[in-house]
Chains A and B, each alone.
Chain A
């Protein structure tokens, strides 16, 4: 084009020279101010006027009548660079390069915030000054002789090393921010607020990075420097990455791009409020919040670490490291479909357990399977796996599982697990951090895995309605795997040993894995019926065995024995880690899922055909596996009726309870009620105080019926009625199965010598004593520690006299000294007076 123009007009020959001169002139011109071009989303501007304070013909002050905190506010902008432009448009008139911005709430002439902008050698600097003497205003003298009489330093300083806040429509998110004093500048701030002082030293260093300068920050990390003791577990570093670089544009700014109102530290979904927020009521800077959303987005992750990274060496990241969100649906809709929170405890973690030599992890893994912004499933995992991978952050490295590897890292290892599925009556469950509720307290699991518990962690049996939970045995660890049961058509956790679900206030579904394989095999539906005065309980139950499906209904007094081998699962899949896995699981669920009424166990059973024996007027209970097969109890009513292939076995039976055993052939025998015997075993030789001898209780059930929920208690009572006259040695609930013997060991150190009666008692659920035994034991007195024993313990036997000799010497020296000092006053008087 240029060549053609040059051909037509000779002037164009000088065009390159013109551009050269123009470029040189431009370079020689003083730097132009960065005009205030920020859209004032949080502001309504009414009028702009200007004043020429020094009568030089140029405006020095721009006064903006506006509303940002009340209906009528004012902002006064003072020019300090001699470059204020005469204009009634504040964007043109003012700049964020060298002006001083004074924010006056209520337009009463006071100032609630001052921002001084200046160009420094390090970049463009904004210093924010708020009220620090609690008078509701920033006491100051405006430019040209600016004086701010609140503090000698600004509590918040924002540095843009690039030298610009905004170019075109792109704000600069390469920022270095320092905060001094109790201003919320990190998520964990409330936990260490008491350690923060407004003392001129930096309490927070916030680094924001937008490496590709697209106006969307990718990284933010906060170094917190509270004056907390070194052993205090405060969060010293918080780092956030937006992996997709899709941060939402800031809206609601008050003139300057980063300034807004409020006290919200985190962002919300699909929105970015200005991160530096003022509380205009108190005239104080309230928050320096998130530039990068930590959790309200898909494909983001963050670390909240108690350990501070070292610039030279990767240190372990402790606590939430990482807390990650994934866009499994690949729709980039701002809402994650997978949330993974890993709480990592490095070996010898000074903030958790310095004595534990292993890495430990506690993980929450929730996902939204149908992309409806509602969490559907969650795994809670606890384990001990070494972490030797390094996550590279812009300025430092952390020893942690990198974001991109995290889901596969988890699903490829073994854990103790809880599983939670969202079921009716919950229609939608959404939090920014996944599904919180879990049946097993993770801290109990952690202490159990650290060998600090002798007993299995308890399970919380009172989770809210609609949370279907399952849990694996805490004593075992398994790779996370889900399976789809053909019976209830729901997703379950492989290796779960039990579970429950409360569909409503009056009913519950209990799941059990009785044979110890990887699949649930017992469903029990319980519903409270009747009135308060006459309550009754409906129990429906399904048991799956390798050969049979057993169904019973207590209301209809019906038992079905169906000869069918129900497969334990229709398909199996790991928790989704990628879009493909998530999609495949969704497809499989859509193909097989079917909604059953939780009470409709009969409908579930009807899915499977087979030769069926129906017992009318019968109830089933106490199903369990034995070494030879399985057994249960059938209670036959007077009018019972049996039909079907196994009916002949029930022919001629009288009403009553029968033990049915499948060995594998079915055998029926009258049920023998529990016949319990208790034997107290105390070692024949007597104990002494401070010494232990093994003791145990032997419990035997001679009947075939199981005796469940028995209370075993062992008490020791002093026959002499001395102090500590009675003490409970043991108290626990126990089940003694039919034709079985249980042993319970216990320890007891007699607190005093004398005769003690040790009594063991077994009571049933009604509190009736069903067995007991007692034994009298004489505990010989052990002589108290004598003075001579202590003397010989505390010094070598052949040198016990050393101390006595020295004590005598001390005493003798004291006596001699005193005699010399006061014993001869006449002589002393001569010498010293």
Chain B
């Protein structure tokens, strides 16, 4: 599809630049909100995995292995080597900036699916106000690349379907497409599997639509190649995934092996789930809302964008589907069909994931799959908005102004949600310099001893990322204090956290104060046995 530009209109690249600028401001917010002093579990886990790859020079290091792919570790190792920046700096500061890369492929794909640069820009802006996606983009994990590569793959797929008349271009696009697919696999094989199964579901949906409807000749000419291509894509994708899992990167196989039930393994392959640490009791991710946020209204407000996206896109999609079924007519445009079928595929996966979560097979499936769903739900809405052409100028103005204002507010709410704003969230990500200083001190003066650093992983991850690769002599203990831990870090933040969470501080009244820097203190229990001297 060509995108001609009329004289006097805004160039397409400017639209793209605006979207990139918005991404840059969001990244700046993430960095400046906590003055760069933040950390969270997945970023820390990946920091350890990257450090392990970098220090051993092996894709499959013996320790701290990330079992689902090596892409992110190798990429960050490369960036660190080229730039000279430390791993900690990249994970804490640069990772969020790297998230901006997702914007060009998103914009390109949306332009193909919606049919205009303006529509692509609207879609991209709507994408950037989705809190679940922003959250995964802000972290130092593979997700910004897996999501971006999925967008890139879909764009290449659409472009290749529209370039069949030019062999060289077509061949190049096909090669790039499969390279992108393999790229997704190397970053996270489970996420790649769920994408491949989404391709298969979309193939089934397209085929069903083809069977049910009375397609026009044009439509048949459009849809048949798509169905044919999706068969190839699904098949080749599965083969690539198999080769990766069983030959290129065997640790991915181990992840499957440790899952106990067929249901778990199926969920892992189809729905992108990783092994859960919670063995005994069924983990209900929906029950954590009450503990993770100050109250439910706050959570609902911050996630309003999710619900609106879900409701509006589902309404549009269902209306579109019913219209086609009623008239037994398939869309003639390949972009429309592709968008419809992939939206349906991710919606099916999302619905299955909620069931799996509630049955205990998964654990956080909906969190993992919702960003994927978001990628396709956003253009459904953007396309509908762009097609909305009220005849009344006043209606149009009011409608567009309302839309702009509403999305402007949603952008603020989503940003607060994505960064776990501590004024509203009980899951704090930030730490303070005095806390880091206190742990540094304990590292020198409490060798081989355990230090409790708070009722959650906040400091464990924050300090861990900051000192990744450095020898640690103190052992950090968090959550419920371990029986062998006899030193406790108390800071203004930990005291406030304790009050907010309603959990007691594990300090004994007669404990010694070993260290005090004004903001943080380290207490040590008096010895009760000869071995605790």
Contact = CB atoms under 8 A, between A and B. Distances in A.
A and B associate: yes
Interface of A: 195, 227, 229-230, 355-357, 447-456, 475-476, 689-690, 692-695, 745, 747, 749, 751, 782, 784-785, 787, 789-791, 793-796, 799, 802-803, 806-807, 809-823, 825, 827-828, 830-833
B9 A815 contact: no
A831 B529 contact: no
B496 A789 contact: yes
A703 B80 CA distance: 77
B178 interface: no
A549 B9 CA distance: 114
Interface of B: 3-6, 8-10, 15, 18-19, 21-22, 25-26, 28-29, 32-35, 62-63, 65, 116-119, 121-122, 125, 128-129, 253-254, 257-258, 385-386, 389, 396, 400, 403-405, 407-409, 411-412, 415-416, 422-423, 428, 430, 432, 447-448, 450, 475, 482-484, 486, 492-493, 495-496, 498-500, 504-505, 507-510, 528-532
B28 A806 contact: yes
Contact of B509 (A357, A694, A815): A694
Contacts of A814: 22, 125, 128-129, 404, 407-408, 411
A774 to B, nearest CB: 20
Contacts of B482: 452
A451 B125 contact: no
A381 to B, nearest CB: 16
Contacts of A827: 8-9
Contact of A820 (B62, B121, B496): B121
A789 B116 CA distance: 47
B530 A475 contact: yes
B483 to A, nearest CB: 4
Nearest to A748: B509
A819 B118 CA distance: 10
A787 B25 CA distance: 24
A791 B423 contact: yes
A230 B63 contact: yes
7 contacts: A692-B508, A692-B509, A813-B22, A814-B128, A817-B121, A817-B122, A818-B403
Given A807-B415, A830-B8, A831-B9, A799 B35 contact: yes
B129 to A, nearest CB: 7
A794 B430 contact: yes
Contacts of B117: 832
Given A454-B528, A749-B504, A820-B18, A447 B483 contact: yes
B493 A793 contact: yes
Given A230-B63, A821-B125, A451 B411 contact: no
A782 B499 CA distance: 9
Given A802-B32, A822-B385, A751 B400 contact: no
Nearest to A195: B257
A825 B116 CA distance: 12
Contacts of A822: 118, 122, 385-386, 400, 403
B504 A811 contact: no
Nearest to B11: A831
Given A789-B496, A832-B4, 4 more contacts: A227-B254, A693-B509, A806-B32, A828-B118
Given A785-B500, A813-B22, A832-B9, A451 B532 contact: yes
B408 A812 contact: yes
Contacts of B486: 451
B483 A832 contact: no
Given A810-B22, A820-B10, A452 B483 contact: yes
B484 A813 contact: no
Contacts of A823: 400, 404
Contacts of B119: 821
Nearest to B473: A357
B403 A454 contact: no
Contact of A790 (B3, B19, B423): B423
Nearest to A785: B496
B118 A821 contact: yes
A692 B3 CA distance: 71
A745 B528 CA distance: 12
B529 A817 contact: no
Nearest to A692: B509
**Which residue among B386, B404, B415 has the maximum number of chain A CB atoms within 10 Å of its CB?**
B404
A448 B404 contact: no
B22 A749 contact: no
Contact of B448 (A357, A817, A819): A357
Contact of B529 (A230, A448, A690, A782): A448
A747 B510 CA distance: 9
Contact of B428 (A451, A690, A695, A794): A794
Contacts of A454: 483, 528-529, 532
State the 7 A-B residue pairs at the shortest beta-carbon distance, nearest first.
A831-B9, A452-B484, A831-B6, A692-B509, A818-B404, A806-B29, A454-B528
Given A690-B505, A784-B499, A832-B117, A810 B411 contact: yes
Given A790-B422, A809-B25, A695 B509 contact: yes
A689 B6 CA distance: 69
Contacts of B128: 814
B437 to A, nearest CB: 15
Given A355-B448, A813-B22, A831 B5 contact: yes
A351 to B, nearest CB: 13
A129 B122 CA distance: 66
A690 B32 CA distance: 31
Given A795-B34, A810-B26, A822-B386, A229 B6 contact: no
Given A451-B486, A822-B403, A803 B254 contact: no
Given A751-B504, A806-B29, A811 B531 contact: no
Contacts of B18: 813, 816-817, 820
B361 to A, nearest CB: 20
A819 B499 contact: no
Contacts of A806: 25, 28-29, 32-33
Contacts of B495: 690
B494 to A, nearest CB: 10
A819 B423 contact: no
A748 to B, nearest CB: 9
Max chain B C-beta neighbours (<10 A), residue from A692, A794, A796, A807? A794
Contact of A796 (B35, B125, B129, B385): B35
A448 B531 contact: yes
B439 to A, nearest CB: 16
Contacts of B63: 230
Contact of A227 (B257, B407, B430): B257
B496 A793 contact: yes
B267 to A, nearest CB: 20
A356 B405 CA distance: 59
Contacts of B507: 692
A790 B294 CA distance: 13
A229 B118 contact: no
A585 to B, nearest CB: 31
A173 to B, nearest CB: 34
A453 B529 contact: yes
B382 to A, nearest CB: 9
A397 to B, nearest CB: 21
A413 to B, nearest CB: 16
Contacts of B447: 357
B29 A803 contact: yes
B529 A811 contact: no
A793 B509 CA distance: 26
A833 B386 CA distance: 12
A355 B474 CA distance: 9
Contact of A475 (B4, B8, B529): B529
